[in-house]
Amino acid sequence: MLPQFQMTGQATQDVLLQQNKVLRNTYMLLALTMVPTIIGALLGVQMKFAFFAGSPMVSFLLFLGVAFGFMWGIERTKHSAMGVVLLLGFTFFMGLMLSRILQVALGFSNGGSLIATAAGGTGAIFFTLAGVATVTKKDFSFLGKFLFIGLVVVLLAALANIFFQIPALSLTISAVAVMIFSAYILYDISRIVNGGEDNYISATLAVYLDIYNVFVSLLNLLMAFGGNRD
């Protein structure tokens, strides 16, 4: 019986080492993705990049097409270096997309402070929830269905608001999005910790999108309630 126990213990240790490796690589790649995101955002602000300047509906659909094209490519190549290249290209594109809301924020006299507060709040949410998932090692996979339904509702509401342009609906979408994507951080980190995700490129993509959407939604709320045009 002893050799069997030893083999079982060794197998468990190997699994834990693999999970820790995926988590470590995810954090390292996640930090790297911030570089092209910042470059894209700064370039977009300087160029006054306005992807949604034309027809909002056409622009929205075009954005989804490019974004899903990148994500499809990343998933197809996630076991090779090309997956990292495509991921970094995607984050540069998302940085360009981010530049529009940054331009709006910088139109406020306290715009820099609003952006810094949104970034700080996003960081606090990420480190807190990632810490909870990592330390407790609790399996939060049961959240998956509820979060997906919530995500679909938010996307449909955002699509509808392109036509209706209701400020109250926009704020509601942002508030709900902060909660949903914060919960997604907990869910996605938990999947890595518990072995539900064993590819660090896919894991990085998921967590990056969580952080990105929390930041954008927080910034929207801060501009609505704390923006100062004086």
Q: Give first-to-last CA distance, the chain, whole Å.
A: 77
Please state, in angstroms and rounded to a whole number, the distance separating the CA atoms of residues 93 and 212: 12
Other Cβ atoms within 10 Å of 205 Cβ, number: 26
Q: For the chain, how many residues are written?
A: 230
Three-state DSSP class for 73?
helix
pLDDT value of position 15: 64
Reference 182, options 209, 155, 210; nearest CA is 210
**Long-range CB contacts for residues 32-38, cutoff 8 Å, separation at least 24:** 32/88, 33/87, 33/88, 33/91, 33/204, 33/208, 34/91, 36/88, 36/89, 36/91, 36/92, 36/95, 37/91, 37/92, 37/94, 37/95, 37/98, 37/212, 38/95
Residue 130, amino acid: A
pLDDT value of position 11: 59
Average model confidence (pLDDT) for the chain? 89
- Interior/surface letters 152-178, b for 16+ CB within 10 angstroms, e for the rest: eebeebeeebeeeeeeeebeebbebbb
pLDDT in tens, 56-106: 777 888 888 999 999 999 999 999 999 999 999 999 999 999 999 999 999
Name the residue ranges covered by the structural domains of the chain: 2-226
Other Cβ atoms within 10 Å of 228 Cβ, number: 11
pLDDT value of position 230: 63
Longest dimension (CA), the chain: 77
Each residue's pLDDT expressed in tens, for the chain with a length of 230 residues: 445 545 466 656 666 677 788 899 999 999 999 999 999 999 999 988 876 656 677 788 888 899 999 999 999 999 999 999 999 999 999 999 999 999 999 999 898 999 999 999 999 999 999 999 999 888 898 999 999 999 999 999 988 887 878 889 899 999 999 999 999 999 999 999 988 888 999 999 999 999 999 999 999 999 999 877 76
Torsion of CA 193, 120, 106, 215, to 10 degrees: 30
Other Cβ atoms within 10 Å of 145 Cβ, number: 9
Contact 122, 218 (CB under 8 A): yes
Please state, in angstroms and rounded to a whole number, the distance separating the CA atoms of residues 116 and 111: 9
